[in-house]
Structure 1
Amino acid sequence: MQGSSGISGFFCIDKPRGWTSSDVVAVLRGALSKSVGYKVKVGHMGTLDPMATGVLPVAAGKATRLFDVLMNKSKGYAARMAFGYETDTLDIEGEVSERTDILPTVAQIKAAITGFTGEIEQIPPIYSAKSVGGVKAYKLARSGAEIQMRPVKVNIFSLTLDSVNGGKNYDDADKVSEIAFTVECGGGTYIRSLCRDIALACGSLGTMTELKRTYSGCFTLENAVGIEEAKANPQANIIPVITALSGIYDIEELAQNDIKKFTNGIPVRTARADGDVLVTIDGKEYAVAHCSGGIMKARINLW
């Protein structure tokens, strides 16, 4: 959306394999800044590994202020993993670090995945953007430094086995070399770590071989565009903030006589139930606010 204070909104990119999330941001920043005639702040809303494909939300302008509220939204993935070996990066693009002849049965896999739903502890990969002492872990790993990654708590809402050894009729498989599964999870979950842990729970080793993010919060594959399409016509592919957030928050139109108080950080009265809302003025996004006990106060300003 182009307003008096500049363009603001989101791209929903279907990231191709081989691109880093930063690559995508750099291309969009350049294309959008050239299109509008001034430098626009652009940032992605959750890293996708280079080998992964699928939904990468990218914010532009004041929409970048919404990073914290959108990063915690649920995400969906379709993944594939192989059993029998593990790599240093926990995906197929890494160097094989260990092998085993032990392959799990379907029964073992089904039993194992039941233990990976709800709130669980997970150790992030050493080759990740996780910060270790203020430095990204993958930079330390590439330098040869020994890294001790600390477990973190993540939420996995659902984990579904989709296919075994390339097929869906798998109840009698007693040696499984690969599986495909879908997962819905909270922010901060590493699917590479999940693949490793599923294999270990089965007494084997495992490595992620494919990953596609199917959605991230309100951003889905259905409304995603390719990077080349977005680059060619960036302004036409910007999703307005109000369009994106209306599927997450109720909308509260701010009364004219409350604008000055609200803008100055003074709480105003509201009939809304407790929780966050998207505040608008004349139908345009103005802030994300928190309502509590009949009082509404700005949480993130978009003015």
Structure 2
Amino acid sequence: MSRLHGWLVIDKPVGPTSAAVVGRLKRALREAGHGRVKIGHGGTLDPLASGVLPVALGEATKLAGHLLDGPKAYRFTIRFGAATETDDAEGAVVATSPVRPSAAEVAAVLPRFTGPISQRPPAYSALKVEGRPAHARARAGETVTLAERPVTIHALELESSDGETATLRVRCSKGTYVRSLARDIAEALGTRGHVVALRRVEAGPFAEADAVPLDKAVELVHGPAPEQALLPLAAGLVDIPVLAVTAGEANRLKHGQPLPGPRAKSGLHLATLGPVPVALVEVSPHGVTVVRGLNLEGDA
């Protein structure tokens, strides 16, 4: 059984899809003799986006869903004066405007996009419309109008503006489309706009400082001790408290059996036996139940 369990945080370059990044790492692991290692990512980035892409290996793949639900932060640049069919630089221009907002005007409109807002996702997105991705329908020439949905913008600030473009930083909830945010900000300023640069700077607990370039990650995977390049399983769960359990309790949890009685404050916890994660568990006044079991026997 593979001993590779943890997180490899990639600084994804512009160009490849998130799936292609995972595929390259999977091939590198196989070439390095690690056999079949479970691997997945914790949040898709568009090909034109760069930045923090957490990749889960081994038992960490069971925790990737929690990361997907967490907040993300991005730095993005809006070019004013033109709207595109994809809301980014990849699409054809569909509308233009001579209006170029000042830095003060951009800053003044941002409070309207902070907090709980409704957002219409881009037509060129992976959201399904009657079982088929919206982007596939749009590329086939269909008119795609997706329903607005609620998202939360935790923080939004202007970093720089030169008259033609504005660079902003946003921290937002799951499901937020930065391309839609840029489009809507431009429209609120009486002009049109689209994203010309997008970089994820945070994904859950992981930040740019944790990320390594893809080529460097492949090199590490090919090295003699790839496990030393991984962040531990619990690194993706820093917002979840730890629940220490005994060997007997750990054995029950590994078999999916609940633990009776209140143990801690209600909510999600990471049950551990010493330094070894045992399971993601839900604590309630009635006891402890297993959300996701983890198979790390022998690992420390």
Q: Return the TM-score normalized by structure 1.
A: 0.89
- Picking from 69, 73, 76, the partner of 1:72 is 69
User: Structure 1: which 5+ residue stretches go unaligned?
Assistant: 166-175
Matched with 2:240 is: 249
Q: Is the 8 A contact 2:62 2:292 kept in 1?
A: yes
Matched with 2:189 is: 202
For 1:254 and 1:77, the matched residues in 2 are separated by 38
Amino acid at match of 2:246: A
- Picking from 259, 265, 269, the partner of 1:273 is 265
SS in 1 for 2:73: strand
In the alignment, structure 1 residue 300 sits paired with structure 2 residue 300: no
In the alignment, structure 1 residue 193 sits paired with structure 2 residue 211: no
Deviation at 1:145, TM superposition (A): 2.2
Q: Is the 8 A contact 1:87 1:94 kept in 2?
A: yes
In the alignment, structure 1 residue 239 sits paired with structure 2 residue 231: yes
1:155–1:238 distance in 2 versus 1, CA, 3 Å: same
In the alignment, structure 1 residue 117 sits paired with structure 2 residue 117: no
Matched with 1:168 is: none
Q: Is the 8 A contact 2:11 2:213 kept in 1?
A: yes
Deviation at 1:300, TM superposition (A): 1.3
Amino acid at match of 2:166: I
Q: Is the 8 A contact 2:250 2:278 kept in 1?
A: no
Matched with 1:31 is: 28
Q: Is the 8 A contact 1:242 1:284 kept in 2?
A: no
SS in 1 for 2:212: coil
Q: Is the 8 A contact 1:272 1:294 kept in 2?
A: no
Moved more, 83-92 or 289-298: 289-298
Q: Deviations over 1:27-82 (max 9, x none)?
A: 01111233343122222111111111110111122211212211111111111111
Percent sequence identity is 35
Matched with 2:214 is: 227
Matches within 5 A, 1:12-23: 12-23=9-20
Q: Is the 8 A contact 2:271 2:277 kept in 1?
A: yes
In the alignment, structure 1 residue 258 sits paired with structure 2 residue 249: yes
Amino acid at match of 1:67: A
SS in 2 for 1:7: coil
Moved more, 257-266 or 24-33: 257-266
Amino acid at match of 1:153: P
In the alignment, structure 1 residue 158 sits paired with structure 2 residue 155: yes
For 2:19 and 2:279, the matched residues in 1 are separated by 27
1:5–1:30 distance in 2 versus 1, CA, 3 Å: closer
Amino acid at match of 1:181: L
For 1:116 and 1:278, the matched residues in 2 are separated by 35
Amino acid at match of 1:9: G
